[in-house]
Structure 1
Amino acid sequence: MNLNDKIYIAGHRGMVGSAILRALQAQGYNNFLLRTSSELDLRNQKAVTDFFSQEKPDYVFLAAAKVGGIVANNTYRADFIYENLMIQNNVIHQAYVNGVAKLMFLGSSCIYPKLALQPLKEEYILTGELEPTNEPYAIAKIAGIKMCDAYRDQYGCDFISVMPTNLYGPNDNYDLTTSHVLPAMLRKFITAKRNGDTSVTIWGTGSPKREFLHVDDLAEACLFLMENYNEAGLVNIGIGEDISILDLALSVKKIVGFEGEILTDTTKPDGTPRKLMDVSKLNELGWKAKITLEEGIQKVYEEIKDCVWSL
């Protein structure tokens, strides 16, 4: 990519898209195509067709998606598969029609089978049954990977796919009903400290292990792959290490400065015992994550410690 190339970031106001935008700006890129969902409905085929034909982007980062937690995924199953397929189909196809030099499709670790071996290797895709609660979303993301590969095979398009692990960082979601474990935990501990509470309760036993990558590291990896990777299939993006939920809570407690105790609610489910990405492919290409989990949580805490959340 050249600094004056026209770059379209689909989903530029989300956590991932905004991080990619910041990373590009930091490197001196300045010619961006940015549209909010109200300005450009990516589910609308004609709107996307008109946008691409008029603007002719050189590079595309496809970070736009309908996302949500377990409850939303399982409740709005039709919405999740329909809207994500429409977004992907429209953007990927128009990128081909309008001669985009390169497109990156961003997926999710939920593409892997529910009972896949750990750590999760790229070749494990489609080797078993998916987690039922988010199957529609996962199938849409798998379709996006296969669509990029099909356009590469038939038309020679340089379309690549990347699958990030669990992310956290600026522009994260802190709604306790829809957020993921780390932002929810940060909010709980900050609120408990502010209110003078004596304890914070976490779901389950605390034994499941999860991997967490700061979104700024993800953005750096995406830029690296846009410059250095051109193959079919997919690339995992992660830090390559995981931590138990209880140890994560202890780390957050220390960083926040909460002095109460941590309680576990074993009436709540633990979820999948472990979910760790194998990042050897990415490391062998020449990129490794730089932000440690402790450093990343500290950065996020400094950014949000004074937030006032509505009930």
Structure 2
Amino acid sequence: MDKSSKIYVAGHNGMVGSAIFRNLKSKGFNNIVTRTSSELNLIDQQAVASFFEIEKPEFVFLAAAKVGGILANNTLRADFIYQNIMIQSNVIHQSYKNKVKKLLFLGSTCIYPKLAPQPLREEYLLTGLLEPTNEPYAIAKIAGIKMCDAYREQYGCNFISVMPTNLYGLNDNYDLQNSHVLPALLRKFHEAKMNDEREVTVWGTGSPLREFLHADDMADACVYLMEKYNDQGFVNIGSGQEISIKDLASLIKKIVGYKGIVVFDNSKPDGAPRKVTDTTKLDQLGWKFSIFLEQGIRQVYHDTFNK
């Protein structure tokens, strides 16, 4: 990519897309095309076709998606599979038709089998059953990876895929009904502190192990791979470090300054027992994360709740 290359960031208002947009701007890229969801409905095939025909972007970051936590994934199953398949199919196909030089598709580590060996290596894809609670979303993302590879094989398109681990950062979703665990805990502990509540309830047993990466690190890796990686298959993006939900709750409690007690609701689902990515492929490509978890959460908490 040249600094003047026309770059389309799909989903630029979300946490992932906005982080990529900021990273590109910080590196001097000055010809970035964006559309809000009200300006361009990516589920609408004809609208997407018209946009690509008019704008003719050279590079595409496909960060647009319908996302959510366990509750949203498990209750809005049709929405998650339909909307994500439509969004990515429209953008990938129009990128091919309009001769986009390179596209980067963002998935999620929920694509891996629920009981895949840990840490998660790229070759474990499709080797076992998925976690049932987010299976529709995972199937959509797997379809996106395979679609990029198929367009590469049939048409010679330079379409690559990346699979970020659990992300947090600016513009995250803090809705307690459909957010991911880290932002949900930040909001819960903050509100408990503000309301002087005696206890905070956390879903599940607290035992699952999770890996988290700051969205700014993820964005830096995406821009790096857009410039360096040109192969089929996908690349994990993560820190390779993990923490239990119980320890995460304790860390957030400390950062927020909440003085009450933490209660774990064992009747609620845990999700996969462990989920950490193997970042060997990314390491070999020459990229490493730089924002450590406590530092990153402190910054996000300050920027979001203490403005």
Aligned residue type for 2:270: D
Which stretch shows the higher mean deviation, 130-139 or 105-114? 130-139
Question: What is the TM-score of this pair, normalised by structure 2?
Answer: 0.97
Asked if 1:16 is matched to 2:16, the reply is yes
Query: What residue is the counterpart of 1:108 in the other structure?
Result: 108
- Distance in structure 1 (CA, Å) of the matches to 2:199 and 2:71: 26
After TM superposition, the runs of 4+ consecutive aligned structure 1 residues lying more than 6 A away are: none
Q: C-alpha separation between the residues in 2 aligned to 1:268 and 1:70? A: 10
**Amino acid paired to 2:112:** Y
- CA distances 1:14-57 after superposition (whole Å, capped 9, x unpaired): 00000000000011111111111111111111111111111110
Which amino acid in structure 2 is aligned with residue 123 of structure 1? E
Task: List gaps (5 residues or longer) in structure 1.
Answer: none
Q: 1:103-161: per-residue Cα shift (whole Å, max 9, x none)?
A: 00000111111111111110000111112222221111111111111111111111000
Taking the aligned partners of 2:247 and 2:76, their CA distance within structure 1 comes to 33
Match of 1:158 in 2: 158
Please show how residues 127-142 of structure 1 align to structure 2 within 5 Å: 127-142=127-142
Rounded to whole Å, the distance in 1 between the matches of 2:254 and 2:71 is 30
Aligned partner letter, 1:31: N
Partner of residue 119, structure 1: 119
Q: Give CA deviations for 1:65-87 in whole Å, capped at 9, x if unaligned.
A: 12222233233322222221111
The total of aligned residue pairs comes to 307
Amino acid at match of 1:119: P
1:235 partner SS:
strand
Letter in 2 for 1:126: L
The alpha-carbon deviation at position 195 of structure 1 amounts to 1.7
* Distance (whole Å) between structure 1 residues aligned to residue 98 and residue 65 of structure 2: 22
- Give the 3-state SS of the residue equivalent to 1:271 in structure 2: coil
Structure 1 equivalent of residue 99 of structure 2? 99
Task: Give 3-state SS (helix, strand or coil) of 1:20's partner.
Answer: helix
Percent identity for Structure 1 against Structure 2: 68
Partner of 1:89: 89
Q: Is the 8 A contact 2:131 2:272 kept in 1?
A: no
The alpha carbon displacement at 1:217 in A equals: 0.3
CA distance in 1: counterparts of 2:252 and 2:284, whole angstroms: 32
Q: Which secondary structure does the structure 2 equivalent of 1:138 belong to? A: helix
Residues 211 and 10 of structure 1: CA distance in aligned 2, closer, same or farther (over 3 Å): same
Instruction: Return the alpha-carbon distance in structure 2 between the equivalents of residues 202 and 80 of structure 1.
Output: 25
User: How far does the alpha carbon of each residue in 1:238-294 deviate from its partner, in whole angstroms, 9 at most, with x for none?
Assistant: 010100111111111111112222222223333321111111110111001100000
C-alpha distance in 2, partners of 1:246/1:71? Answer: 19
TM-score (norm 1): 0.96
Partner of 1:289: 289
2:147 & 2:293 partners in 1: Cα distance?
A: 34
Please report how far the alpha carbon of residue 89 of structure 1 lies from its aligned counterpart in structure 2 after TM superposition: 1.2
**Residue identity opposite 1:279 in structure 2:** T
Unaligned runs of 5+ in 2: none
Which residues in structure 2 correspond to 1:170-185 (within 5 Å)? Answer: 170-185=170-185
Structure 1 position 79 matched with structure 2 position 85: no
Letter in 2 for 1:38: S
Q: What RMSD over aligned residues (CA atoms) do the two structures have, in Å?
A: 1.2
Which amino acid in 2 is paired with 1:247? D
Which amino acid is the alignment partner of residue 21 of structure 2?
Answer: L
Match runs of 1:1-311 below 5 Å:
1-306=1-306
- Give the whole-Å Cα distance in 2 for the aligned partners of 1:112 and 1:132: 12
